[in-house]
């Protein structure tokens, strides 16, 4: 059955080596009751653990039914322990909250046995050790002898070929010890029983074989081993693999959870605190990151990165103004005054600071899908020198609302033109400023960003090129500048107001109120810039000053309508368009196509 050939076991801890077994040679038959005796520390329990596969030998070989275990892997030892060996421990190792029947059944859960079969075999095993009437009792309701018999029943329920008992009577009184020994002797009639004990009297009375150990060696063996017995009887070691069905595992887990309700509740409560804490930290971190991203997105959409056709580098200009230029170092004599080159350097810096950018190539690059620029931007807008010219024609005289004529109505632009601000870099800066004063502004193409930045108070978002929206501020206001531009306030008031301001007289703006319906009733006409020219013979004539001609053209022009009123959302950090009227990019594209 079992053959141990020159088995050694060495425990190492750092440089310390302890030899627990020093060359054990033993063989066991199929059915005998062997008792291993010896003083504490002689290697009895180590030998028992090696036979049971709980510990691995250092050198030598353990032969089971003629098969060497030198090449055994972990799952081979698992199968051997589960199907071929039963263990009886001195401390019983019973699960305190399970009944005697459940403790014995537990040994069958890894064997793939059905629930009904487990119950039947567990009852038989308990009846065999005389506990047929104690099935529902828990360990704390039983005596020491009864608990040891439950442990024996658990060891026998898998019908093992080898039963290993480590001090099975060590914690029992004399009478109970005799009862346990009687059971073990009865078991040894049809299987191998190997027992470790300190009690030589019980061993002499019940064991069929006495093996004595001292300092890791066998000093005596009452059964002389023949050559045939030593080799053991060859047999088939193939056994079913260890397995447990998912349903069995689920039932065991549920049973354990329900048995210790207080512990389960406390564990679940403590675990939930940890999980909730981690979830809160992750949600807070994620929320902060999303908030930072939203601040970045909203802020950059309000203060975008701008690239213009002409770039002015003011560094050298400011250096020249402050006379900080190092220039060429020259020796100057005391008592004389020399001329510097501040004016020359300033003019040179002014002209050299202007850089022309290739906007055509840059736009072509931005429009290529393969650049992947979309993942880094909220939207891309283009401004053109060609103005978007819009009129209101529902009045006695057509009113140009874009570009705004409000500043011209005050007379300020006449003074600017008289000051010579109409050419060169001054003109570029002036045109940029005037574009910023336009009430009509393009909306970003990013629909998601617009939805997050604005609340729709009436109507809806624009969906086509002929639709616009009125954008109010957070107080539901439109500036008086926008009202003058749109003709909702009379521009004829502006010159008088400007003159009074020039004289230092205070002025007061009249407060007006409008309903959403009134504002959504506004209609505009798009005048294509080339339509103001009329061909006569071989010449093109500018007819923009002809009111009748202009009115006729506007009657035929595409109509632009207001379809919604927006206000910045309560949670918006910033918005991509200021108060006024927002239009879709398609409107500018349509006009440029007509011009071309």
What DSSP string describes 215-259? TTEEEEESSPPPHHHHH--------PPPB--HHHHHHHHHHHHHH
CA distance 136 to 105: 12
Q: What is the mean pLDDT of residues 432-449?
A: 78
What sign has the CA pseudo-torsion 58, 59, 63, 69?
positive
Tokens of 343: 């004016």
**pLDDT tens track for 57-78:** 999 999 998 899 999 999 889 8
Which of the listed ranges 124-133, 264-273, 274-283 does the model predict with the highest average pLDDT? 274-283
**Band of the pLDDT at 243, cuts 50, 70, 90?**
low
Determine phi and psi for 325, rounding to 5 degrees.
-65, 135
DSSP β-bridge partners for residue 469: 564, 582
Tokens of 354: 């202007």
CB burial readout 440-470, b (16+ within 10 A) else e: bbbbbebeebbeebbeeebbebbeebbbbbb
Domain with CATH 3.40.50.300 in the chain: 2-244
Tokens of 414: 């006449």
Nearest to 213, CA basis, from 21, 6, 42, 52: 42
Instruction: Name the residue with tokens 């906007």.
Output: 359
Res. 421: pLDDT tops 60: no
Are the CB atoms for 451 and 566 separated by under 8 Å? no
More confident of the two residues 569 and 254: 569
What sign has the CA pseudo-torsion 136, 140, 146, 149?
positive
DSSP β-bridge partners for residue 354: 312
What pLDDT is attached to residue 315? Answer: 66
Strands 454-459 and 559-568, by their bridges, are antiparallel
**pLDDT tens track for 104-121:** 988 787 676 788 888 899
Q: What is the mean pLDDT of residues 281-304?
A: 84
Instruction: Name the residue with tokens 């010890």.
Output: 177
Tokens of 385: 């020198």
Can you tell me whether residue 310 is helix, strand or coil? strand
**Band of the pLDDT at 241, cuts 50, 70, 90?**
low
Tell me how crowded residue 303 is: count the other CB atoms within 10 A of its CB: 10
Res. 405: pLDDT tops 70: yes
Q: What is the mean pLDDT of residues 322-333?
A: 62
How buried is 22 (Cβ within 10 angstroms: 0-12 exposed, 13-18 middle, 19+ buried)? Answer: middle
What pLDDT is attached to residue 225? Answer: 46
**Band of the pLDDT at 579, cuts 50, 70, 90?**
confident
CA distance 36 to 203: 8
Q: What is the mean pLDDT of residues 466-485?
A: 91
What pLDDT is attached to residue 159? Answer: 87
Tell me how crowded residue 210 is: count the other CB atoms within 10 A of its CB: 16
Tokens of 536: 């006569």
pTM score, whole prediction: 0.51
CATH second-level architecture of 2-244?
A: 3-Layer(aba) Sandwich (3.40)
Are the CB atoms for 2 and 162 separated by under 8 Å? yes
Give the CA distances from residue 131 to residues 126, 147, 150, 159, 348, in Å, rounded to whole numbers and listed in that order: 5, 10, 8, 18, 112
What pLDDT is attached to residue 383? Answer: 84
CA distance 379 to 368: 14
**Band of the pLDDT at 423, cuts 50, 70, 90?**
very low
CA distance 454 to 353: 40
CA distance 152 to 441: 90
């Amino acid at each position: 059955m079992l053959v141990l050939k020159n088995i050694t076991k060495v425990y190492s801890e750092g440089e310390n080596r302890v030899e627990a077994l020093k060359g054990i040679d033993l063989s066991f038959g199929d059915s005998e009751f062997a008792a291993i005796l010896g003083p504490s520390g002689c290697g009895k329990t180590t030998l028992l653990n090696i036979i049971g596969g709980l510990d691995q030998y250092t050198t030598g070989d353990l032969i089971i039914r003629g098969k060497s275990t030198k090449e055994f892997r972990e799952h081979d030892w698992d199968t051997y322990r589960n199907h071929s060996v039963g263990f009886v421990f001195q401390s019983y190792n019973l699960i305190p909250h399970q009944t005697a029947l459940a403790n014995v059944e537990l040994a069958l859960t890894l064997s793939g046995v059905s629930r009904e079969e487990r119950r039947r075999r567990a009852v038989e095993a308990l009846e065999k050790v005389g506990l047929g009437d104690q099935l529902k009792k828990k360990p704390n309701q039983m005596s020491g002898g009864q608990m040891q018999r439950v442990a024996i029943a658990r060891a026998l329920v898998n019908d093992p070929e080898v039963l290993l008992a480590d001090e099975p009577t060590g914690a029992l009184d004399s009478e109970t010890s005799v009862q346990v020994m009687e059971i073990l002797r009865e078991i040894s009639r049809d299987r191998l029983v190997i027992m470790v004990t300190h009690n030589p009297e019980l061993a002499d009375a019940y064991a069929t074989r006495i093996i004595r150990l001292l300092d890791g060696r066998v000093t005596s063996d009452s059964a002389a081993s023949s050559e045939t017995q030593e080799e053991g009887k060859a047999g088939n070691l193939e056994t079913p693999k260890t397995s447990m069905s998912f349903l069995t595992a689920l039932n065991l887990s549920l049973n354990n959870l329900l048995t210790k309700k207080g512990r389960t509740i406390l564990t679940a409560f403590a675990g939930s605190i940890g999980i909730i804490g981690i979830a809160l930290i992750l949600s807070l971190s994620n929320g902060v990151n999303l908030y930072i991203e939203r601040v970045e997105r909203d802020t950059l959409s309000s203060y975008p990165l701008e690239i213009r056709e002409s770039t002015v580098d003011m560094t050298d200009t400011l250096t020249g103004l402050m006379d900080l230029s190092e220039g060429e170092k020259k020796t100057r004599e005391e008592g004389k005054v020399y001329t510097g080159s501040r004016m020359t350097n300033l003019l040179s810096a002014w002209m050299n600071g202007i850089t022309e950018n290739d906007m055509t190539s840059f736009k072509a690059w931005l429009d290529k899908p393969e650049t992947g620029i979309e993942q880094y931007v909220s939207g891309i807008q283009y401004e053109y020198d060609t103005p978007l010219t819009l009129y209101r024609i529902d009045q006695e005289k057509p009113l140009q609302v874009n570009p705004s004529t409000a500043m011209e109505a005050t007379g300020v632009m006449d003074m600017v033109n008289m000051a010579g601000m109409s050419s060169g870099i001054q003109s570029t800066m002036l045109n940029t400023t005037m574009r910023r004063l336009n009430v009509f502004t393009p909306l970003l193409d990013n629909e998601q960003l617009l939805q997050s930045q604005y609340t729709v108070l009436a109507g809806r978002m624009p969906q086509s090129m002929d639709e616009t929206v009125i954008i109010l501020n957070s107080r539901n206001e439109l500036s008086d500048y926008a009202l003058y531009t749109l003709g909702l306030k009379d521009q004829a008031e502006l010159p008088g107001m400007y003159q009074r301001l020039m004289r230092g007289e205070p002025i007061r703006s009249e407060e007006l109120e409008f309903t959403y319906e009134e504002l959504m009733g506004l209609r505009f006409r798009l005048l294509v810039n080339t339509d103001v020219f009329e061909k006569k013979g071989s010449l093109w004539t500018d007819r923009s000053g002809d009111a009748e001609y202009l009115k006729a053209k506007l009657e035929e022009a595409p109509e632009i309508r207001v379809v919604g009123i927006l206000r910045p959302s309560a949670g918006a950090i910033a918005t991509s368009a200021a108060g006024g009227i927002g239009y879709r990019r398609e409107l500018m594209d349509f006009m440029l196509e007509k011009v071309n």
